[in-house]
A and B are shown apart, each in its own frame.
Chain A
Amino acid sequence: MGNHYCYLTLHYTVYDLTFLPPFCVNSLQLPLSLLKTAQGHPMLVELKNGETYNGHLVNCDTWMNIHLREVICTSKDGDRFWRMPECYIRGNTIKYLRVPDEVIDKVQEETKTRADRKPPGVGRGRGRGREEGAGGRQPKGIGRGLDDGGTKGAGGGRGKGGPSGKPGGNRGKSRSSLHGEVEADSDWWLELLQMDQVQLQCPCFLVHP
């Protein structure tokens, strides 16, 4: 039993260090997260060749490829215009994007709620109930984090499979309910299994091509 809780604590520490990239600590945002947050908003994109595209962002990816709807394209000289229902722009042709000012506030809100969702402290003195509560929520937190953080595209793909798609989702549920009701000694391996899964979702494990 004792060992079991030791593992859990370690687990949280690993999660904290790996999931949060070093720059998430301040109010620092990642440009691609901001872009993701700007989904649905109007924006102006200037390409390296000087053309500008005004439209609503439908989607974007980690290469900054973007999908716009209701687009007005303007030639470099600003004298010719084209309307098109949608267009897809390869990320590396972009010079800059101008996004509505309020988007930065949204992304800050999102990171804040993400921080709130983080397990509360890892102090030794914590009761075991607390740790379990956090443990139950945790896989969800990670899944979300990868999704809207979008730090690395690779992360998204692998990470998504875990909590919802695979048996992990079920396991997570039954696990937390089990812990809510009974403290079965035989459950510790389940926790370990879960831990493995969590680790698989951590960005640092996904850096290889």
Chain B
Amino acid sequence: MSAGPGLESLVDQTISVITNDGRNIVGVLKGFDQATNIILDESHERVYSTKQGYAVLDSALGKGLDPFPSRKMLDILESEEGVQQLVLGLYIIRGDNISVVGELDEDLDSNLDLSKLRAHPLRPVIH
């Protein structure tokens, strides 16, 4: 990442975004504007938990996850994986809702065994 303010240097790179509601979304940065609205392509959400199965689903729904992908999610969540990855696709995230944007080291990331990773979900930002 070259020096300088702004997200220019991250364009077309994989980034990790943490939103105000505590979600972690990973995808390729395709664009942004002055309000930090960003375009994420091929994005997916990583749902962290220390628990398994339906407990995850409950907490995810509590965060306002839409019910349609969650049907698909159901199957995934029943498996015993640690960190769930939900495919989201092309997203426009409003800047208001973004807490952190970070670049993702793809080598490091591909060496992670997400199924063995356990973490508490992030709590939403309180204004």
Which of A46, A77, A101 counts the most B-chain CB atoms under 10 A from its CB?
A: A46
User: Is there contact, CB below 8 Å, between A95 and B66?
Assistant: no
Closest chain B residue to A31 by CB distance? B37
Report chain A residues within 8 Å CB of B68: 44, 54
How many whole Å from B68's CB to the nearest CB in chain A? Answer: 8
User: Is there contact, CB below 8 Å, between A77 and B66?
Assistant: no
> Which residues of chain A (100-115) have a CB below 8 Å from chain B?
100-101, 103-104
Interface size on B, residues (CB 8 A): 31
Digitize A73-100: 1 where CB-to-B-CB distance is under 8 Å, 0 elsewhere. 0101111000000000001101111111
| Known contacts A48-B97, A50-B64, A64-B37, A29 near B30 by CB under 8 Å | yes
Q: Which of B75-83, B84-92, B115-123 forms contacts with chain A?
A: B84-92
Chain B CB within 8 A of A26 CB: yes
User: Is there contact, CB below 8 Å, between A31 and B92?
Assistant: yes
How many whole Å from B15's CB to the nearest CB in chain A? Answer: 13
Contact of B89 among A27, A52, A64, A98 (CB under 8 A): A98
Report chain A residues within 8 Å CB of B64: 46, 49-52, 76
How many whole Å from B36's CB to the nearest CB in chain A? Answer: 9
Report chain B residues within 8 Å CB of A78: 61, 65-67, 70
How many whole Å from B66's CB to the nearest CB in chain A? Answer: 4
User: Is there contact, CB below 8 Å, between B94 and A34?
Assistant: no
Chain A CB within 8 A of B56 CB: no
| Known contacts A50-B64, A95-B97, A96-B97, A28 near B92 by CB under 8 Å | no
User: Is there contact, CB below 8 Å, between A99 and B92?
Assistant: yes
Chain A CB within 8 A of B109 CB: no
How many whole Å from A62's CB to the nearest CB in chain B? Answer: 10
Interchain Cβ contacts under 8 Å between A and B, 10 examples: A26-B11, A31-B32, A31-B38, A31-B39, A34-B39, A44-B66, A48-B97, A51-B64, A52-B64, A96-B91
Which residues of A approach B to under 8 Å, CB–CB? 23, 26-35, 44, 46, 48-52, 54, 64, 74, 76-79, 91-92, 94-101, 103-104
